[in-house]
Amino acid sequence: MLPESFSFSQASLQDFVACPRRFQLRYLLRLRWPAAEVEPIEEHERRMMMGRTFHQMVQQQHLGVPESRIERGASDPDLLRWWQNYCVYRPVTSFSGDAASASARSEVTLSATIARYRLVAMYDLIVVEPGKRAVILDWKTSDTRTSEAILRERMQTRIYPYLLVQVGAALNCGQLIRPEMVEMIYWFPAFPDAPARLPYDADHFSRDGAFLEQLIERIADMEEDDFCLTSDLRQCEYCIYRSFCDRGIAAGNLDDVTAAYELQEGDVEVDIDFEQIAEIEF
């Protein structure tokens, strides 16, 4: 039942693992359901905005915008602290070594076809020292330091290194990236001296490949009624569809969330479309 043009991402596969029904509602039926995901909404929104702004500040710095000018945009004290941590700890240089041949690319998107479907990943930053190392840096802007054990299990940790090895050759002067070259590093601006470093190897690569292939095939073969509701009711506390599924009323509390919150930024474009202009109504 999956349309041929369907694309998977770490977020959609993570949703599937958390609750198949959520995957179906969100990505297949594209059900818009504006209930609160978590309470208090205000604080959640503040953190989301801060995370988004932090990502952008790092990208600006990477593109050469002077740091003093970037810093002026950090209006929230927490954001300013994150930014200052970033400037002090300099994770890009500290993790990429000082090899002159290393090159860093921010906001890279890679995609590959797995089990007949596209799998897409958006990386915060990839540093490649050709033929030697390929470091994936991901900024985790949560206010808790997620453990390595939890991070290891996340779809992102399985997909990002896998895709980099599979289709990242262009970043390595056209040569295949070997799994052993890859390291995935989560850097927490709120915990700058406690990054989570997750090395990669051929074993991980083959296991992740088989796992992703099987998972996508399984989803592709599912019928409409196969997308069952999760048995883990805690998932429902942090799910916008809880009233749709009759799984509760109020959203769970942000302070009780244990795993790091993922950012899901939309791609917003401003276009002038005929349909959007009341004035031009034919």
Partner 1 sequence: MNGITLSPQQLAVAQASLSCRLFLEGVAGTGKTTAGVARMHYLLKSEIPADRLLVLTPQRTLAQPYYDALRSPDTPGGGVVTVTTIGGLARRMIDLFWPLVAEEVGFQRPADRPVFLTLETAQYYMARIVTPLIEEEGYFDATTIDRNRLYSQILDNLNKAAVVGFPPGEIGERLKGAWMGDLVQARIYDQAQACALRFRRYCLAHNLLDFSLQIAVFAEHLWEEPLCRDHLTETYTHLIFDNVEEDTPVAHDIVYSWLGTVESGLVIFDHGAGYRSFLGADPVSGHMLQDLCDEQRIFVESFVMSGSVTALGAAFDRVLRPSVPDGETAPPIGDAAPLAPAPTADSVTGNNGIRATLHFGNRRFHHQMLDWVVAEIQALVRDKDAFPGDIVVLAPFLTDSLRFSLAHRLHRVGIPVRSHRPSRALRDEPATQTLLTLAALAHPEWEILPSRYDVTDALRHAIHELDLVRAQLLAQIVYRPHRGQPELTPFDEIQPDMQQRITFVFGGRYEALRTWLAAYRTRQAAPLDHFLSRLFGEVLSQPGFGFHRDVDCGLVAAMLVESVQKFRWISADLADNRRPLGREYLEMVRQGVIAAQYLAPWQEEEQDAVLLAPAYTFLLSNRPVAYQFWLDVGGLGWWERLYQPLTHPFVLSRRWPTGKVWTDADEHALRQRGLQRLVLGLVRRCRVRVYLGLSDYSEQGFEQEGPLLGAVQQILRRFQSERGGV
* 22 counts as binding ligand SF4 under rule CB under 6 A: yes
Residue 19 binding: pick among partner 1, ligand SF4, none (C-beta 5-8 Å cut-off by kind)? ligand SF4
* 244 counts as binding partner 1 under rule CB under 8 A: yes
- In the complex, minimum distance from the CB of residue 232 to ligand SF4, in angstroms, rounded to a whole number: 8
Residue 251 binding: pick among partner 1, ligand SF4, none (C-beta 5-8 Å cut-off by kind)? partner 1
* DSSP assignment string, the chain: ---TT-EEEHHHHHHHHH-HHHHIIIIIS-------SSB-HHHHHHHHHHHHHHHHHHHHHHHT--HHHHHTT--SHHHHHHHHHHHHH-HHHHHHTT-TT-EEEEEEEEEEEETTEEEEEEEEEEEEETTTEEEEEEE---SS---HHHHHHSHHHHHHHHHHHHH-GGGGTTSPPPGGGEEEEEEETTEEEEEEEEE--HHHHHHHHHHHHHHHHHHHH--GGG-PPPS-HHHHHT-TTTTTTT--SSPPBGGG--SPPPP----------GGG-SSS--
Binding residue for partner 1, selected from 88, 225, 258, 282, defined by CB under 8 A: 282
Binding residue for partner 1, selected from 2, 17, 48, 59, defined by CB under 8 A: 59
Under the rule (CB under 8 A), what is the footprint of partner 1?
A: 4-5, 7, 29-36, 41-42, 53, 56, 59-60, 63-66, 69-70, 72-73, 75, 108-113, 116-118, 120, 166-170, 174, 240, 242-244, 246, 249-251, 268-282
Under the rule (CB under 6 A), what is the footprint of ligand SF4?
A: 19, 21-22, 25, 229-230, 235-236, 239, 241-242, 245, 247
